[in-house]
Amino acid sequence: MNKISHETMRESSVLRWSALILVALTMFFAYMFVDVLSPLQTLLEQQKGWTPEVYGTFASSEYFLNVFVFFLFFAGIILDKMGIRFTGLLSCIIMLIGAGIKLYAISDWFGADNALYDLLNSFAVSFPPAAKLASVGFAIFGCGIEMAGITVSKTIVKWFTGKEMALAMGLEMAIARLGVAVVFWISPYFANLGTPDVVRPVAVCCLLLCIGFLTFFVYTLMDKKLDSQDSTLSKELDEEPEEGFKMSDLGKLLTNKVYIITALLCVLYYAAIFPFQKFATSMLENRLGLSTTDASQLFSWFPIGAMILTPLLGWFLDKKGKGATMLIFGSILVFVCHMTFAIYPFVEGDSNSLLVAYSAIIVLGVSFSLVPAALWPSIPHLVDKTYLGSAYSIVFLIQNFGLWLFPIIIGVVLDKSNPAEVLIANNGVYNYTPAMLVFASCGIFACILGLWLKAEDKKHGYGLEEPNVKS
């Protein structure tokens, strides 16, 4: 789609941005479901007996099939071969199946008188059967949401190439992060509505996922019309059809040094973000002595801050460039945030401690605006568009390995650094310093890769520092 005619839908700003809103709403509801249990770790431990190690393993299960069954690898190929409409609808169906299993697993319907419960309880008895089945559901859901993520990325490239692509990606991410902010408010609310119960917020988010499926279905009608227009235009201009994806294209990706650097930066940076989201509410409860609701609402300023700034930074990237520089500064800021929570002497009930905590969360939000706003629009600069879907899928696959591994690492670190006798001595308060140092180390290594990426761009001229909108 190198030549864009005024006859196509993408030339209409209303239609172009409408398409973005429809797919962004799908991700909005999907992101709500991802973190619906993140503010409820303490309640899960009280009601379901999920220790930090069990919770960490459950949280990591979202990425298990993507990493070990290489689902994301195949998702990219499916996207490039079958197109946006098929892949997007398939991803929504997979998400709904996984969400239903997870809801069933934590509900009262799944109990000791259930044959499946007895089967799951026959091995690894330290890991509750409900957590095992919930992990299976979350793993299936994880396949769907990651497939949806690469589909939405390719959708934005399709509609916004040569236009406000970074701004569009920034707005999509902002809408998705609004889902995270919202769920950190409503999840504790629904959980504590009457008798405390972790099932209610999960059920609500399952219903919202159904709405997300409908918004993507509406988008497919627009996508079909656009493909028809592009096909007609190509015939009128006597253009050769674009060469499709070939398996040999994967070799080009895996031997592309700057692409691999970008993928490694992605996994290290996101390892310091999404796994932290799973533990952030509990960390704030233990470090500042806050209630679950107060800690959850404090952390909600992280996605809110990122939501506000990401579109602005996307606009800046479209107009002024400096993508590689943004990656470096974003990595530095994530290090600053996690080191603050690791070493600052927080005191329960102290106003200065609360101010420092808010400041660190806002710094994290700024970081999470800088890096994603620059990272995802950079990929089209590095690879050919015929295998762009696979390029995104491999980055997501590598990212998913880190997102699978780090919740397990953090869960183990928390258990090992807080043995029973220490917890008793500390009145059940967890020491989060070692865990936060693990997160902080990711920021340092991501910064080093950002510097390397900027040097490669300066040497070879990939255009990472250049604006996306050409004058």
Give the whole-angstrom CA distance, residue 203 versus residue 300: 21
DSSP H or E stretch at residue 32? helix 13-34
Spatial contact of 62 and 278, defined as CB atoms under 8 Å apart: no
Q: Which residues are CB-contacts of 125 (< 8 A; sequence separation ≥ 6)?
A: none
Q: How many CB atoms lie within 10 A of CB 419?
A: 10
Give the whole-angstrom CA distance, residue 6 versus residue 261: 38
Instruction: Give the pLDDT confidence score for residue 393 in this predicted structure.
Output: 75
Give the whole-angstrom CA distance, residue 334 versus residue 331: 5
Alpha-carbon separation of residue 292 from 150, 272, 282, 424 (angstroms): 33, 22, 7, 20
For residue 231, tell me if it sits in a domain: no
DSSP H or E stretch at residue 412? helix 388-417
* Residue 285 belongs to domain with CATH number: 1.20.1250.20
| DSSP letters spanning 301-361 | HHHHHHHHHHHHHHHHHHHT--HHHHHHHHHHHHHHHHHHHHHS---TT-HHHHHHHHHHH
Give the whole-angstrom CA distance, residue 203 versus residue 306: 27
**What is the domain count for the chain?**
1
For residue 234, tell me if it sits in a domain: no
Q: How many CB atoms lie within 10 A of CB 240?
A: 6
Sign (positive or negative) of CA dihedral 70, 72, 77, 78: positive
173 CB-side CA count, 13 A: 30
Instruction: Give the pLDDT confidence score for residue 5 in this predicted structure.
Output: 44
For residue 342, tell me if it sits in a domain: yes
pLDDT, tens digit only, all 471 positions of the chain: 444 445 677 788 889 899 999 999 999 999 999 999 989 988 898 888 888 889 989 989 998 998 888 887 788 788 888 889 999 999 999 999 999 999 999 998 887 777 888 888 888 878 899 999 999 999 999 999 989 998 998 899 888 877 887 788 888 888 988 898 899 899 999 998 888 899 999 999 999 999 999 999 999 999 988 888 777 655 554 444 444 555 666 777 778 889 999 999 999 999 999 899 889 999 999 999 999 889 988 998 888 877 788 778 777 877 787 888 999 999 999 999 999 999 999 988 889 999 999 999 999 989 988 888 788 778 888 887 777 767 877 887 888 888 889 988 998 999 899 988 888 888 888 999 999 999 999 999 999 999 999 999 888 888 888 876 665
**Strand ranges inside 29-123, DSSP E:** none
For residue 198, tell me if it sits in a domain: yes
Alpha-carbon separation of residue 426 from 7, 353, 418, 423 (angstroms): 68, 19, 9, 5
For residue 387, tell me if it sits in a domain: yes
Q: Give counts: helices (H), strands (E), the chain.
A: 20, 0
Instruction: Give the pLDDT confidence score for residue 470 in this predicted structure.
Output: 61
From 394, 455, 431, 288, select the one nearest 71 (Cα to Cα).
Answer: 394
Which residue range is the domain that position 345 belongs to?
Answer: 16-224+249-460
For residue 176, tell me if it sits in a domain: yes
